[in-house]
Structure 1
Amino acid sequence: MSTDIKQFTVSIYTENNIGLLNRISAIFQRRHMNIESLNTSPSEIEGVSRFTLVVNITESQMKKIIGQIEKQVEVIKAYYHTEGEIIYQESCIFKMKSDLLFDERQIQNIIKESNARIVTVNKKFFVIEKSGRKEEIDLLYRELSPFGIMQFSRSGRIAVTKDEMKISTMLQAFQH
């Protein structure tokens, strides 16, 4: 088993119960592991939630953690994936001073070249939205930083697998 640290995307299908997020994060905390990204949302099956986490650990650590996560009563199934096995996106929004939009021609070029979009403009500020891979968002942040970012917010990773997941059949049975 490899001792190389890799980035894994973890998908956890659960019943939607209060306190589960604390118990899942405690599994990582007890092992002094940082969760890089976290998103929770409804899944493709009504009544079933999906947690999507990103962690940088070894595969042997990942396997142990999946075992611990699946011991939680409300957890239906947990999976881990490498970057090559998933399609993912992150989203972010930037709030910037409105005069930049009109006075700095370069800002409009940065927005266009990054495939970002302006979602609102008023006298004081404008807001840019960007969805994409982590590297694309990091690059846009670096390009806009010299102009002064008033506020910045970024989502956790959302992901789907390239291959079919057997969980869908399992969840159909869970639903009935």
Structure 2
Amino acid sequence: MSTEIIQYTVSIYTENNIGLLNRISAIFQRRHMNIESLNTSVSEIEGVSRFTIVVNITEPQMKKIIGQIEKQVEVIKAYYHTEEEIIYQESCLFKIKSELLFEERQIQNIIKESHARIVTVNKEFFVLEKSGKKEEIELLHRELSVFGIMQFTRSGRVSVSKEEMKISTMLQAFQH
């Protein structure tokens, strides 16, 4: 087992209970580990929520944390994956002054080359949406920063594993 620090994506399937997010984040906090990205959503299973957490730690630390997470009563199952084992995306929105869209040819080129999408345009501002890897979003942010960004927000990572996670089969067994 490697003691090298690498990036893991943790998928936690849970009942949707108030306070669980605080307890899960406290597991990382107690060990002085920073959560790089956090996303919560419904899952493919009705009534089951999914937390997706990105963290940079060693594999032994990751295994201990998974054990602690799975001790939470509402947690059904937790998995961890390396970057190579998942397909993932992040999404972001940029709010930029509209005059730049019409007066700066370079902005139009940046939008086209980055495969960003214009979501809305009005007299004061336009909003760009970009989905992709963290590095792609960071590059677009750097390129647009030169012109001035009025507002910026980025989502947490969303991911699916390349290998099947047996969670659906496992839950169906519980429901019968």
TM-score, normalised to structure 1's length? Answer: 0.98
Q: Report the Cα distance in structure 1 between the residues aligned to 2:156 and 2:64, rounded to whole angstroms.
A: 23
SS of 2:164's equivalent in the other structure is coil
Q: Does 1:99 align with 2:99?
A: yes
Q: Report the Cα distance in structure 1 between the residues aligned to 2:175 and 2:51, rounded to whole angstroms.
A: 18
Q: Determine the structure 2 residue equivalent to 1:68.
A: 68
Aligned identity (percent) is 87
- Tell me the amino acid that sits aligned with residue 166 of structure 2: K
Q: Report the Cα distance in structure 2 between the residues aligned to 1:48 and 1:76, rounded to whole angstroms.
A: 9
Q: Determine the structure 1 residue equivalent to 2:19.
A: 19
Shift of 1:150: 0.3
Mapping for residues 132-171 of structure 1, pairs under 5 Å: 132-171=132-171
After superposition, give the CA deviation of every residue in 1:7-35 in whole Å (9 maximum; x if it has no partner).
00000000000000000000000000000
For the aligned residues, what is the CA RMSD? 0.7
Q: Determine the structure 2 residue equivalent to 1:2.
A: 2
Structure 1 residue runs of 4 or more that deviate by more than 3 Å after TM superposition: none
Q: Determine the structure 2 residue equivalent to 1:53.
A: 53
Q: Report the Cα distance in structure 1 between the residues aligned to 2:57 and 2:171, rounded to whole angstroms.
A: 28
Q: Report the Cα distance in structure 2 between the residues aligned to 1:3 and 1:122, rounded to whole angstroms.
A: 52
For the 8 Å contact 1:96–1:150, the answer to whether it is kept is yes
SS of 2:146's equivalent in the other structure is helix
Q: Report the Cα distance in structure 2 between the residues aligned to 1:151 and 1:31, rounded to whole angstroms.
A: 33
For the 8 Å contact 1:52–1:157, the answer to whether it is kept is yes
For the 8 Å contact 1:46–1:175, the answer to whether it is kept is no
Shift of 1:2: 1.4
Structure 1: give runs of 5+ residues left out of the alignment.
none
Shift of 1:3: 1.2
Q: Does 1:37 align with 2:57?
A: no
SS of 2:123's equivalent in the other structure is coil
Q: Report the Cα distance in structure 1 between the residues aligned to 2:160 and 2:168, rounded to whole angstroms.
A: 12
Q: Report the Cα distance in structure 2 between the residues aligned to 1:166 and 1:54, rounded to whole angstroms.
A: 21
Q: Determine the structure 2 residue equivalent to 1:118.
A: 118
TM-score, normalised to structure 2's length? Answer: 0.98
Structure 2: give runs of 5+ residues left out of the alignment.
none
